[in-house]
Chain A
Amino acid sequence: MAYAPTKRRAARARKPSLLVLNITSMLDMFTILIIFLLKSYSAEGIILTIPADLHLPHSTTQNAPEPGLVVEVSENILVVDGKILDVDLKEVEKSETLIINNLYEHLLVKARRYEEIAALNPNAEFTGRLVLEGDREIPFRLLKKILYTCGQAGFINQSLAVFQKE
């Protein structure tokens, strides 16, 4: 008598027992990505966020950013601590006065708040720390007025944000 496999057994033989995706090459890629990303990871976190349309100048400085009041100056808008101020920078550039009134008043409020916090919490001393994120195209005439106004409002510990050259 001929030995013929049953229909069921034949069907089982055709079907693969377990479907395994080969993910080895994907893991290789992920490992390389992880190493690359870990290299560019900074443990101190992001203190400054730079808006996409703001082009900072490049510098050889090695100083890491420190937390402080952030003033962003792009070609036509002025932002203090995330709030857009109603200041026409083109007018400011042309004007003869050194102080920018709108900015000065806003900064005074900020400085007063920092001082109030400092009075309640001795650890949070008001150092007058200010970080200016300026577009690389702004002229000194404008920069000087902004820095002067900040200084008058009590922010005397000024630094300029830059991109670090490799």
Chain B
Amino acid sequence: MAFRPSHRRSKPTYILDLNMAPLLSLFVALIPMLLLTAMFQKVGIVNLYLPTLEEALLQNNASDPSQEFTLAVTVTLNEITLMKDQEVLITERIESGLNLDRITDKLVTLKDQFPEKRDAVLLLDGEILYETIIDIMDAVRVRGDRELFPDISLADRIVEES
């Protein structure tokens, strides 16, 4: 007579498994939503500054005239010049690429001398590309975490008749 198969061996083994299906359906809903709203390239803005009439009048009546001057950055295709009123502070040639470190260094010392000053003017040639303008504005606006001259206006460079 043959052996009767053992009951012990044929007992089903239970695998304890968490039911992940609800979590899965939640993820399936969340992922497309987040993918659609995700911004892989963050967009920011650079504010342009237009002095209003009141501010212009206020500046003319400033209590300390020594703090008042025009800070201008003149940009041509070949060089960048930093000017305080009519006095040329620094000139940087543009050769292979923009090198704004020396200009920013100079601007930091200027900011140390005139901590109240916030505005600067960029005087640009018509050929200057938008990207270059933004780079130069960055150099004039901030240095690391330090704010230099954030109120920047753009203007045409006045071509001197020679």
- Interface, chain A (partner B; CB < 8 A): 1-3, 5, 13, 17, 20, 23-24, 26-27, 30-31, 33-34, 37-38, 40-42, 45-46, 48, 50, 56-66, 131, 134-141, 143-144, 147, 151, 156, 158-164
Contacts and interface: CB of A to CB of B under 8 A. Distances in A.
Contacts of A160: 45-48, 134
B1 interface: yes
A23 B135 CA distance: 49
A131 B46 CA distance: 9
B108 interface: no
A139 B130 contact: yes
Contact of A57 (B12, B42, B134): B134
Nearest to B137: A59
Interface of B: 1-5, 10, 12, 15, 17, 20-21, 23-24, 27, 30-31, 34-35, 37-48, 50, 124-131, 133-135, 137-138, 141-142, 154, 156
Contacts, number: 147
Determine the main DSSP class of B at the interface with A: mixed
A48 B156 CA distance: 29
Contacts of A62: 44
A158 to B, nearest CB: 5
B25 to A, nearest CB: 11
Contacts of B4: 3
A159 B38 contact: no
A40 B45 contact: no
A139 B33 CA distance: 38
A60 B138 contact: yes
The 9 lowest CB-CB distance pairs between A and B, nearest first, are A141-B126, A37-B34, A136-B131, A57-B131, A30-B27, A159-B45, A57-B134, A164-B44, A164-B42
A57 B125 contact: no
